[in-house]
Amino acid sequence: MTTKGFGPDARPLVDLKPIQLTTPDDTCLTYSWLVNADNKYPPARWQTTLVIPNSPRAVEIGEQLDTFFLNFKKALKAAYPDKKKEDYKWNELPWKWEDHEELKLKNALILKCNKKTHSPEGTPKAPPIIFDSSQKEPLNDEQKAKYDKIGPGTTAQVALYVSQYNLSVGTGCRLTPAAVNIKNFIPFGSQANTAEDWGFTVDAPQQGSGTPSTNDFDF
């Protein structure tokens, strides 16, 4: 059996190739570091959490992800026929169905995607490719700088790879962002401008209260 020959994580290779998925263009981006990597907690990585509104396409993507996970478990059984499922350290799957309060979406498909900036050997990796509606070619470094701070509610299509891992730190599936096509961009910090946006209760104005003016203050 072929082995993965790198350090303590060497394991027999599981016979399951990655698959590619592309999300619909109403996919919402949240907590996104797609231009400059997030290096707050090493290792540094590009990442984004995708929130896909419930739709036939979202259900189809969810089914494809669940099928991949099922095939992964079958491939593990073939590679390790004597192992039981409790012998693995299963990590949480990076997808789930859940309400998203901030975006006011019910039963949305949520995908957590990330890509480390370097391989375990220290080799630099290429960042996700960024597109937008301004041109068909990928954006260069100067053009994509405007997307360094992506606010929640920005919509995009995202091409991602679904793959598996079986390492000493755990066993599971990963979602890797390959390319992002920005559709509707909301800069970070501009998405909540009123009390209602933040979920505060706003009382009706009192009779005769009016709007404050400079005459109301010691200016």
How many angstroms separate the CA atoms of 74 and 175, rounded? 19
Question: Which among 141, 120, 118, 121 is positioned nearest to 130, based on CA atoms?
Answer: 141
Kindly list the distances between the CA atom of residue 56 and the CA atoms of 25, 59, 60, 108, 216, in Å, as whole numbers in the listed order. Answer: 13, 5, 6, 12, 56
pLDDT digits (tens, 9 = 90+) for 32-89: 999 999 999 899 999 999 999 999 999 999 999 999 999 999 999 999 999 988 889 9
State the DSSP code for 1.
-
pLDDT digits (tens, 9 = 90+) for 85-138: 888 999 999 999 999 999 999 999 999 999 999 998 999 999 999 999 888 899
- Helices then strands, each counted (H, E), the chain: 2, 8
Q: Report the phi/psi class of residue 213: left, alpha or beta, with left for phi > 0 and alpha for psi in -120 to 50.
A: beta
Domains of the chain, first to last: 14-189 (2.40.50.140)
Structure tokens at 12: 């027999």
**Does the model's pTM come out above 0.85?**
no
CB 73 within 8 A of CB 171: no
Query: Tell me, what's the pLDDT at 196?
Result: 54
Query: Tell me, what's the pLDDT at 185?
Result: 95
